Amino acid sequence: MTSEPRLSFKEMCAKFDVTPRTLRYYEYIELLAPERDGRARFYGPREIARMTLILRGRKFGFQLEDIRQWLMIYEEQGTEAQMRAWVEMADRQLGELAEQKAQLEEAMDELRALRDRTADSLPDAT
């Protein structure tokens, strides 16, 4: 038995507020590789850290395949290569988010103008 903290499947779901289906899917696509004891799964510090990174990446809009490849860089090439890849990924994602923001602002402006025209055409209620 190891002295490092380990979480059960249920504890992992609770800690990260994810569904069992999500956790199983992350294992299926090899983002996570918990230790197994019979049918039980246990998540050590490595898997906990990976899950933190996965969810952070999802929050910023990264695709799971991008996250998986980024995590593999650490395994195969180490921290510096992973950090360099992260900077490149972040730059690309910032560009995509800026484009999405511009599109949202344009849609909001159009909706606001249409709403204002519609409101202006209503008879005044007194």
pLDDT bucket at 126, cuts 50 / 70 / 90: low
> Domain 1-59, what fold?
Multidrug-efflux Transporter Regulator; Chain: A; Domain 2 (1.10.1660)
Helix (H, G, I), strand (E, B) or coil at 5: coil
Output the pLDDT for position 99: 97
Please say whether the beta carbons of 60 and 93 come within 8 A: yes
* The pLDDT of residue 37 is above 80: yes
Residue written as token pair 């910023």: 60
- Domain boundaries defined on the chain: 1-59, 63-120
Over the stretch 53-69, which tens digit does the pLDDT of each residue have? 999 999 999 999 999 99
Q: What is the mean pLDDT of residues 78-101?
A: 94
